Structure 1
Amino acid sequence: MSSTKSPAKASNPKLSCASHHIIGDFDAKVVTAEPGQHDHARSSLFKSFDESVSSGLGRLQRLPLELLSSICLLLDLQSALNFNQASRSARETIGSIPQYHRLREHSLECIWALFRTGLSHHTSISDLHAALLTELCVICGSFGGFLFLPSATRCCFACIESAPDFRIISFHSLQKESRRLATWLKRSHPVIHSIPGSYSSREKEYTSRRKLVSGHHALQFPRADHDEDPRAILGKLPDSPVLRCMAACRLPYFNLATGDLQLGISCKGSQIAMEANFSDANFSRRERLYSRDGFMRHLWDCVEAKELWASSEGGMVEVTEPEFTRRGGL
């Protein structure tokens, strides 16, 4: 029997021997901004000025700060930005609220995606902040490294591709099949305007913008007695993983108790297993993300990861790893 410590009992384990952060693979599948694109916004968005406040809030000035802060958390993103730009006092108020500070520091890409897709009017500050503090996918309970934009819901990539709640359909297809006027549908549904980019795979670049609708929202619109059941309408429309990915982006998990920020880590052993025997099950294993604590538990069940751990002597010796993981998924 090997004398190497078990991964769960090893002191100060160096998990990089068996785990890695996928840099490029997921970014080629969901809504992603160019690196460094938001650096300027991080220094200014929802942030108070250094100078002293020279203007007031009008009647809002009469409210206790706690009540005013609670109201600001109920604002949607667009309204919050409008209020933030209204005056120095408004900017000072927004800048003093911890939830706004966390979103500026850790969720800028999601904020950018919500504005670019036209969903900023439909997403509240409190809902987005709640998603930032949520660790697990609301559907399957695994680590969720993503945000489903139409509902500001924490999710994993597997559920983005398959969960009924995360279905995305073409606005024009819904209009044609439901025989509703476009103006009526736009009033009844949050319309998603896709962002040009690569989705679901790197093989195709989508250069034009498309109008999309969440399947969940499509089921909610009111209908007359003679109208067809929305479920029947959706059943006639194709379910596309590409459209689903156009409505999702990466979102780190922020642990409020520890101040720890995690994007999720992947298993090198699962990549080895997939390269040895490509199957849907092994591919799903490769796509799964873990928190650091979750990955420690996963090591007990992954034969290939445990072999990497043993051969590296608990992360102390460099070992050969798949080219895919060495390049960070690029």
Structure 2
Amino acid sequence: MLPHELDQKSCESLESEAILRITSYHRRDFDAKVVTAEPGQHDHARSSLFKSFGESASSGLGRLQRLPFELLSSICLLLDLQSALNFSQASRSARETIGSIPQYHRLREHSLECIWALSRTGLSHHTSISDLHAALLTELCVICGSFGGFLFLPSATRCCFACIESAPDFRIISFHSLQKESRRLATWLKRSHPVIHSIPRSYSSNEKEYTSRRKLVSGHHALQFPRADHDEDPRAILGKLPDSPVLRCMAACRLPYFNLATGDLQLGISCKGCQIAMEANFSDANFSRRERLYSRDGFMRHFWDCVEAKELWASSEGGMVAVTEPEWTRRGGL
């Protein structure tokens, strides 16, 4: 690469960083609406979960010790989360095995909140390590294709916040309501459906706190149970039950996107210009614009099409002058 090309690339990178600083922001209100641990709640787990201590193992893995490491790694990736946790605690050799698998290392470093949420909600037996790792490496929402900064816990799928609130595939219903409408025994439903145990907390910056745990079921899973000829169609049963955005949020958590090629980790950013546009002219279209998250590269593509963001950037005189931004974006949506 020629020196002038290197300088040009460096200047473009510096300008991009300045544009991002002036015209983008982090949606803190999204964090307040989904499953989130208290700060520092899993610091201890971060230092030990799925981590090799680098010590010689005094006990082996029994017959598993005969397998080539590549095959043993493949088997470990097929484990569900709870089985992986149990296996890693079985012996020092098991911990060393788990700790030496790159996928486990990435999950410990970047998906600890999701691991905690899956364990606390009772879904760790229903989520495979390979599915969770695949979601970590997925950038876009599986429903709409926009940047997805979240994980829908019952299916371990990448999604955006708008789809959490509205997509039929992400509907969450009360276990007791399903039991009442379907006239099925609770024991049968528990055997047939992964039951979500909600985490007590507030699921909004200004809503009441949910102090007790609730039993929930994914609407997608509720459609799967077998029925006799005389039974009512599950779709009809679901149609009778209320659709609650709060229940949906009880089954979702933040999940950063990890770019395996670059090692870049992103939670997603929003556009200040889109908030300015919505405040100037409230409409469904402008509201949808405001709700979108972007990767850094995706935001830069959006920036050149966003009139309000470009005007905000111009008012900063290349990032050298402080700008007046909406109170909403200054507070991160809170």
Give your verdict on TM over 0.5.
Answer: yes
Shift of 1:281: 3.0
Per-residue CA deviations over 1:239-292 (Å, capped at 9, x if unaligned) read: 111111110000000000000000000111112222333333333222210001
1:49 deviates by 1.7
Contact 1:171-1:191 at 8 Å conserved across structures = yes
Runs of at least 5 residues in structure 1 that lack an aligned partner in the other structure: none
1:50 Cα offset (Å): 3.2
Distance 1:12 1:242, change over 3 A: closer
1:221 aligns with 2:256: no
Instruction: Summarize the Cα distance change of 1:3–1:62 in structure 2 as closer, same or farther, 3 Å threshold.
Output: closer
1:188/1:221 contact within 8 Å kept = yes
1:298 to partner: Cα distance: 0.9
SS in 2 for 1:147: strand
Q: SS of the residue aligned with 1:34?
A: coil
Q: Deviations over 1:162-183 (max 9, x none)?
A: 1110000000000000000000
Name the SS for the 1:109 alignment partner: helix
What is the deviation of 1:13?
4.4
- In percent, how many aligned pairs have the same letter? 91
Instruction: Give the superposition deviation at 1:156.
Output: 0.2
Whether the 8 Å CA contact 1:4–1:313 is kept in 2: the answer is: no
Q: Distance in 1 between matches of 2:286 and 2:107?
A: 35
* C-alpha separation in 2, matches of 1:77 and 1:327: 36
SS at match of 1:254: strand
Partner SS state of residue 8, structure 1:
helix
Any conservation in 2 of the 1:4–1:314 contact (CA below 8 Å)?
Answer: no
Q: Which runs of 5+ in 2 are unaligned?
A: 1-5
Q: What SS class does the counterpart of residue 18 from structure 2 fall into?
A: coil
Question: How high is the TM-score relative to the length of structure 1?
Answer: 0.94
- Note the C-alpha offset of 1:200: 4.8
The structural deviation recorded for 1:2 is: 24
Alignment of 1:131-170 (within 5 A): 131-170=135-174
Which residue number in structure 2 is paired with residue 113 of structure 1?
A: 117
> Displacement of 1:203 after TM fit?
2.0
Aligned match of 2:89 = 85
RMSD across aligned C-alpha pairs, in angstroms? 3.0
Give the aligned length. 327
**Post-superposition offset of 1:5:** 15
Q: Deviations over 1:69-116 (max 9, x none)?
A: 000000000000000000000000000000000000000000000000
Contact 2:54 2:96 in 1 (8 A): no
Check whether the contact 1:145–1:154 (CA below 8 A) recurs between aligned residues.
Answer: yes
Deviations 1:293-320 (A, max 9, x none): 1111111222211111111123232211
Q: Which deviates the most, 9-18 or 317-326?
A: 9-18
- Contact 1:55–1:88, Cα closer than 8 Å, also in 2: yes
Distance 1:5 1:41 in 2: 39
State the alpha-carbon separation in 1 of the partners of residues 299 and 153 from structure 2. Answer: 26
**What SS does the aligned partner of 1:79 have?**
helix
Kindly tell me: are residues 11 and 95 of structure 1, through their superposed partners in 2, closer, same or farther at Cα, counting changes over 3 Å? closer
Deviates more, 1:8-17 or 1:150-159: 8-17
Q: Is the 8 A contact 2:175 2:215 kept in 1?
A: yes
Distance 1:296 1:152 in 2: 29
Residues 239, 8 of structure 1: alpha-carbon distance in 2 compared, 3 angstrom cutoff? farther
Question: 1:168·1:212 contact (CA, 8 Å) conserved in 2?
Answer: yes
Is residue 272–residue 322 contact of structure 1 (8 Å, CA) maintained in 2? yes
| CA 1:31–1:159: 2 relative to 1, 3 Å | same
Is the Cα contact below 8 Å between 1:30 and 1:249 reproduced in 2? Answer: yes
What secondary structure sits across from 2:258 in the alignment? strand
Distance verdict in 2 for CA 1:323–1:55, change over 3 Å: same
What is the CA-CA distance between 1:195 and the residue it aligns to? 0.5
What is the CA–CA distance in structure 1 between the aligned matches of 2:54 and 2:14, rounded to whole Å? Answer: 48
SS at structure 2 position matched to 1:159: helix
Distance in 1 (alpha carbons) for counterparts of 2:133 and 2:98: 14
